[in-house]
Amino acid sequence: MIAPSGSYRIAPYLNAARSLGIGLVVVSNSEHSLIPAVAKGISVDFSNLSQARSTVLAAIKQLNIVCVLATDDSCVDLSSQIAEYLDLPHNSIKATRLTHRKDLARQVLKESGCNTPAFQIIAIKDPAKIELEFNYPVVLKPLSLSGSRGVIRVDDRTQLLQAVNRIDSILDQAEQTGFARENILVEAYLDGPEFAVEGFLVDGKFHTLTIFDKPEPMEGPYFEETCYLTPSQLDSKSKQALVNEIASCCRAYGLEHGPVHAEARIISSGTVLLELAARTIGGQCGQIIEFSLQQKLEELVIQGMCGKLPKISNDVDPAGVLMIPITNSGLLKRVEGLTDAMQVRFIKDIEIHIREGYELVPLPEGSSYLGFIFAQAPSYQETYQALKAAYEKLRFVTQPSWKLDQLAG
């Protein structure tokens, strides 16, 4: 398993492997062994892909490796190279590159006949010369950032120029380089409900784990995730059309093996893919798969990576998660109302992931959530109402965050 040292996914995958009776070697960019009592550890520098590959291959020379798993986007390329050398099922680097380069992905999807919005690439260098090829509203997206960071809807030219300058600053902060630093993707805004699809590829065939509804409208100007609910309330015909389009997009990318997390909208002309990642769902949201399917997501993934696709029950229990958005900037002083929120009927758990004293940065500059609220109720609607009721009881007290340049001014 290849994972960045700070990944929250490490412990769940370790527990899953232990539960399945499978040995695990962890490759990370930590300077020290991560979990010496639980699993072997190999330390590499992810920024030097060639050296990392050599280090890993030398360390596992005497081991019988049966699969190579990447937990996060930053590890996908290294995972593909290791699996290719070992002649194990994997996705090509060309395919995985498309999962974190929006511009290349859009072009491939268009050439493959998949549904795409109108799109074009614009240069940041001289915003005054930008001429759009289609009508407003449009959505501006950095080419290589994730988690809705830097994604902004604009409704006219004034907003467009302001958004370009703002994204320019975000790309600078994110230390982007090359083409992805100098250009932005612009897409026609799609008006329609949004869904997330969790699945798995085995020998190029897409298998659905679950479909998540996103009942909260996502109209911009920023696109923070809020609620994920399952089972989806789509009718069977719409579900099949959604899954078919995701499978077509996977083929267009050239993806062959491993977990897939997709985001899509259903508009009047059909399903349109928004994002496609060669990994599992982000955040702690994988827990609701366990709530609804009674199977841990990490166990499903490990089994699939080893070529054994588990049977997925059609009887899905209602479950949901609310990703707590950061709505105000500043330093977090305290979280109030947590006890009352936990006492809301059907709430399973509430996790706050940002500690007191840490800075809160909303979208589009930010890239994280305050935490997660989990609910499970007898019905879909009760689950949804429980999430909203718990969130309404939480209060996040902040204080201004003063920068050194602000103080000097």
Q: Tell me whether residue 63 is exposed, middle or buried, using C-beta atoms within 10 angstroms of its C-beta: 0 to 12, 13 to 18, 19 or more.
A: exposed
Domains of the chain: 10-90 (3.40.50), 104-110+190-315 (3.30.470.20), 118-188 (3.30.1490.20), 318-409 (3.30.470.20)
Q: Using CA atoms, how far apart are residues 355 and 269, in angstroms rounded to an integer?
A: 44
Amino acid of residue 243: V
Q: Using CA atoms, how far apart are residues 144 and 119, in angstroms rounded to an integer?
A: 16
* pLDDT tens-digit map of 7-60: 878 888 999 999 999 999 999 987 654 444 445 689 999 889 999 999 999 999
Residue 4's CB: how many other CB atoms inside 10 A? 17
SS3 41: strand
* pLDDT tens-digit map of 253-306: 999 999 999 999 999 999 999 999 998 887 678 888 888 788 888 998 999 898
* pLDDT tens-digit map of 316-375: 889 999 999 999 999 999 999 999 999 999 999 999 989 999 999 999 999 888 999 999
- What is the C-alpha end-to-end distance of the chain, expressed in Å? 48
Residue 367's CB: how many other CB atoms inside 10 A? 16
Q: Which of the 8 DSSP states describes residue 75?
A: G
Amino acid of residue 100: H
Q: Using CA atoms, how far apart are residues 387 and 325, in angstroms rounded to an integer?
A: 13
Q: Name the phi and psi angles at 210, rounded to 5.
A: -165, 160
Tokens of 383: 């689950």
Amino acid of residue 175: E
Q: Which of 374, 332, 382, 331 is nearest to 351 (CA)?
A: 374
Q: Which residues contact 89 (CB under 8 A, 6 or more apart)?
A: 67, 83, 202, 203, 256, 257, 258, 305, 307
* pLDDT tens-digit map of 61-118: 999 999 999 988 888 889 999 999 999 999 998 999 999 899 999 999 999 999 999 9
Amino acid of residue 135: N
